């Protein structure tokens, strides 16, 4: 019962939560390294004891006296009692040096191995968390800001593996050293050992009380300010035109500057805190040594006093740095605890998410054998979280293979939502949807590339035209022939041919070097890269000029029969020839049929068509 309660309590600590991100075998490896570090603490005690014996021998030799019983017993045990004074001190001093240096070398070796191991595990944890994040629904991904997710998957993971677990591993060596040294000093002189322990424990307690809470607060403040300042920078860069026209650039610069100032202050505070411990402990060691020297020479004979002082000074050279590292480690853990909270919360919320396996891809799949580009939607209803009314309600329709289907209606009618449901991006709260007889995500996994989507706002990555068209695929798949073919269909080939590097020309960050129309045509080319059998376009031609739109519309029309095309469009001219027009309003399908049939059923739609001369 007690063991179970302890385990439950440990699992809820920040260290327990961090350790659960490692596999059982990884936790076992870390535990073994900690045990080795604890064992190495015994070597420190042995080395310090030998230095104390050397000191006692030196005093005895100077005074031409016989060493004490303890020293004599040690000399007999190691077989040095028959050697002269100089040989005894030389051999024991050499042995002490080898043991202490060897202990340090071994500790550095195992600590380095452990930290590199944890660093690699951090990379694996980051990759696993990324896979789980990308296996969520769209709404779950959008529940966090992009900067919060970015921090959790990168810096937050480092705070866990190296900031928390790495510090625990390094602290194990120093903590064990302190325990072993304390035991050894008690054997030498219990009174002095106890008084020294109380002295340093009191100093450590006061430092911990003063600094630990502040370290955790600063760690949380640092992560929050880092996320907020990054969000502000991305915000102003992504809305630069608006900021310029509205004369808000100076405001953004001040806001970002204030946030970075606060962040710098928090980082400086965190960086300075270990120095507080350092200076306090250095002063404490000096004062302790002076007090010990005075007490020993007042109360003991010279031989005993020098031997005891030698042991304590030798121990002090190991204890003081160890106390400092333990103190700094505690501060690092408290600071990392705050910085890692975002990642730990994310990891725990994703622990039940199943990650699909990455299928082996030897070549670009463009045949899509066995895929039937039909869609069946039955009584689909979907309500966004926090909304009272459904965005889509009780919609049913059948889209046949090779058909051209258009969704029309006023803004906010539910057109984009219905497309998200068709593609499996949003799961319907009621009803069902299938593509080629399977749930959408299963169909997409079974026939990768058979379904393509062009959003209204095409995301452009920093890279070349080639890389943007083959986005998400291995570079080897992006052959010149396949890239130029998609550019030709999207009516972007003439523009790219005029560029100095052609398809290997950089498009700029977020597509800064292409126009709005070129951006949309690049999105269409990307969608056509895998020669899909089902193509979904969300107002993908809205930013095109009339001539280019007509050319792209003609190219899309040429796909009829071989490719099922589902389009959302405000420009009615582009959907006039659709096989099926679905008019949505307030989430309901008010009318379905040909363009003329919907005109006859919906007066508003007929009015819009008349205004456009259709």
pLDDT at 139 over 60: yes
604 plus 485 within the same structural domain: yes
**pLDDT tens-digit series, residues 421-456:** 998 888 888 999 999 999 988 888 888 888 888 888
Report the range of poorest mean pLDDT among 153-162, 248-257, 414-423, 602-611.
248-257
387 plus 341 within the same structural domain: no
Asked whether residue 226 is domain-assigned, the answer is yes
CATH number at residue 146: 1.20.1560.10
Residue 318 has a pLDDT of 63
Instruction: Determine how many CB atoms are found less than 10 A away from the CB of residue 90.
Output: 13
Helix (H), strand (E) at residue 280: helix 249-299
pLDDT band at 26 (very low <50, low <70, confident <90, very high): confident
- Residue 314, phi then psi, degrees to nearest 5: -65, -45
592 plus 517 within the same structural domain: yes
Residue 65 has a pLDDT of 59
Asked whether residue 359 is domain-assigned, the answer is no
How far apart CA 533 and CA 472 sit, in angstroms, is 19
**pLDDT tens-digit series, residues 402-425:** 899 999 888 888 888 999 899 888
By C-alpha distance, which of 236, 344, 262 is closest to 16?
344
Based on the structure, what is the number of domains in the chain?
2
565 plus 480 within the same structural domain: yes
pLDDT at 242 over 60: no
285 plus 150 within the same structural domain: yes
Give the mean pLDDT of 319-333: 74
323 plus 379 within the same structural domain: no
Q: Which residues contact 514 (CB under 8 A, 6 or more apart)?
A: 460, 507, 508, 522
193-229 burial, b if ≥16 CB within 10 A, otherwise e? beebeeebeebbeebbeebbeebbebbbbbbbbbbbb
Residue 1 has a pLDDT of 45
pLDDT band at 496 (very low <50, low <70, confident <90, very high): confident
Measure the CA angle with vertex 466, ends 465 and 468; round to 5°: 65
**pLDDT tens-digit series, residues 174-200:** 777 777 777 766 776 676 667 667 777
Residue 435 has a pLDDT of 92
* Axis-axis angle for helices 24-62, 69-78 (nearest 10): 120
Residue 104 has a pLDDT of 80
pLDDT band at 376 (very low <50, low <70, confident <90, very high): very high
pLDDT at 570 over 70: yes
187 plus 298 within the same structural domain: yes
**pLDDT tens-digit series, residues 92-129:** 778 878 888 888 888 888 888 888 888 888 888 888 88
How far apart CA 339 and CA 148 sit, in angstroms, is 12
Of 547 and 434, more confident: 434
330 plus 388 within the same structural domain: no
**Residue appearing with tokens 């005074």:** 63
26 plus 76 within the same structural domain: yes
Share of the chain above pLDDT 70, in %: 78
Asked whether residue 109 is domain-assigned, the answer is yes
How far apart CA 524 and CA 559 sit, in angstroms, is 13
CATH number at residue 398: 3.40.50.300
pLDDT band at 5 (very low <50, low <70, confident <90, very high): very low
- Number of helices and strands in the chain (H, E): 22, 9
What separation in angstroms does the CA of 289 have from each of 36, 190, 194, 198, 199? 31, 16, 14, 14, 12
Asked whether residue 361 is domain-assigned, the answer is no
471 plus 580 within the same structural domain: yes
Residue 3 has a pLDDT of 45
Asked whether residue 360 is domain-assigned, the answer is no
The domain of 569 spans 375-611
Residue 2 has a pLDDT of 41
pTM of the entire structure?
0.70
336 plus 379 within the same structural domain: no
Strands (DSSP E) contained in 421-516 are: 430-435, 451-454
294 plus 418 within the same structural domain: no
**pLDDT tens-digit series, residues 271-312:** 777 667 667 766 776 777 667 666 666 666 655 666 566 656
Q: Is 610 exposed, middle or buried (0-12, 13-18, 19+ CB in 10 A)?
A: exposed
Of 252 and 222, more confident: 222
SS3 string, 393-434, reads EEEEEEECCCCEEEEECCCCCCHHHHHHHHCCCCCCCEEEEE
Report the range of poorest mean pLDDT among 255-264, 292-301, 481-490.
292-301
pLDDT at 481 over 70: yes
Asked whether residue 357 is domain-assigned, the answer is no
DSSP state of 502: G
pLDDT at 378 over 70: yes
Report the range of poorest mean pLDDT among 292-301, 365-374, 377-386.
292-301
Q: Please, what is the average pLDDT of the chain?
A: 78
SS3 label, residue 437: coil
Asked whether residue 368 is domain-assigned, the answer is no
SS3 label, residue 370: coil
Report the range of poorest mean pLDDT among 264-268, 312-316, 354-358, 560-564.
312-316
Give the mean pLDDT of 309-332: 68
Residue 67 has a pLDDT of 60
pLDDT at 361 over 70: no
Report the range of poorest mean pLDDT among 143-147, 449-453, 531-535.
143-147
Asked whether residue 274 is domain-assigned, the answer is yes
């Amino acid at each position: 019962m007690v063991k179970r309660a302890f385990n439950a309590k440990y699992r809820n600590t920040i260290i327990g939560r961090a350790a659960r991100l490692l596999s059982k075998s990884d936790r076992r490896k870390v535990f073994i390294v900690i045990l080795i570090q604890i064992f190495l603490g015994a070597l420190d005690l042995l080395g310090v004891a030998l230095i104390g014996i050397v000191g006692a021998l030196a005093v005895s030799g100077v005074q031409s006296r016989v060493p004490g019983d303890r020293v004599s017993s040690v000399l007999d045990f190691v077989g040095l009692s028959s050697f002269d004074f100089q040989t005894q001190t030389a051999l024991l001093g050499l042995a002490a040096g080898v043991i202490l240096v060897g202990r340090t070398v071994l500790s550095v070796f195992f600590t380095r191995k452990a930290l590199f191991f944890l660093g690699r595990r951090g990379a694996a944890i980051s990759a696993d968390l990324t896979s789980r994040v990308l296996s969520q629904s769209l709404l779950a991904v959008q529940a966090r800001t992009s900067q919060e997710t970015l921090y959790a998957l990168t810096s937050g993971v480092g705070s866990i593996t190296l900031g928390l677990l790495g510090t625990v591993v390094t602290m194990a060596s120093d903590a064990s050293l302190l325990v072993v040294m304390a035991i050894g000093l008690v054997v030498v002189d219990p009174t002095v050992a106890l008084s020294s322990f109380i002295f340093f424990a009191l100093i450590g307690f006061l430092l911990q009380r003063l600094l630990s809470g502040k370290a955790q607060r600063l760690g949380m403040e640092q992560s929050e300010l880092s996320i907020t300042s990054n969000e502000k920078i991305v915000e102003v860069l992504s809305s630069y035109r608006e900021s310029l026209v509205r004369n808000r650039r100076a405001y953004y610069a001040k806001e970002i500057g204030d946030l970075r100032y606060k962040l710098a202050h928090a980082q400086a505070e965190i960086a300075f805190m270990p120095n507080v411990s350092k200076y306090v402990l250095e002063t404490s060691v000096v004062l302790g040594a002076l007090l010990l020297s005075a007490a020993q020479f007042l109360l003991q004979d010279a031989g005993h006093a020098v031997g005891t002082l030698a042991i304590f000074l030798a121990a002090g050279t190991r204890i003081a740095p160890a106390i400092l590292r333990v103190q700094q480690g505690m501060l690092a853990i408290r600071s990392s605890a705050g910085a890692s909270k975002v990642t730990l919360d994310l990891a725990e919320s994703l622990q039940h998410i199943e990650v699909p396996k990455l299928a082996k891809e030897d070549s670009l799949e463009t045949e899509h054998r066995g895929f039937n580009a039909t869609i069946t939607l039955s009584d689909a209803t979907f309500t966004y979280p926090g909304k009272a009314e459904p965005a889509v309600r009780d919609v049913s329709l059948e889209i046949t293979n090779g058909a051209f289907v258009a969704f029309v209606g006023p803004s906010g009618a539910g057109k984009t939502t219905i497309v998200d449901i068709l593609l499996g991006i949003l799961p319907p709260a009621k009803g069902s949807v299938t593509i080629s007889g399977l749930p959408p995500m299963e169909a997409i996994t079974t026939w990768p590339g058979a379904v393509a989507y062009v959003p209204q706002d095409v995301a452009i990555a920093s890279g070349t035209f080639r890389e943007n068209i083959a986005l998400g695929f291995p570079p080897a798949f992006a052959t010149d022939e396949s890239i130029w073919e998609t550019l030709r269909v999207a009516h972007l080939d003439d523009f790219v041919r005029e560029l100095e590097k052609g398809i290997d020309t950089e498009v700029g960050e977020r597509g800064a070097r292409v126009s709005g129309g070129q951006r949309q045509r690049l999105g269409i080319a990307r969608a056509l890269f895998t020669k899909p059998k089902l193509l979904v376009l969300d107002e993908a031609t809205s930013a095109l000029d009339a001539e280019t739109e007509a050319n792209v519309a003609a190219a899309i029309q040429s796909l009829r029969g071989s490719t099922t095309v589902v389009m959302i469009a405000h420009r009615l001219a582009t959907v006039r020839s659709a096989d099926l027009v679905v008019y949505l309003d307030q989430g309901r399908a008010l009318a379905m049929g040909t363009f003329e049939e919907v005109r006859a059923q919906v007066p508003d739609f007929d009015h819009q068509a008349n205004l456009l001369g259709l």
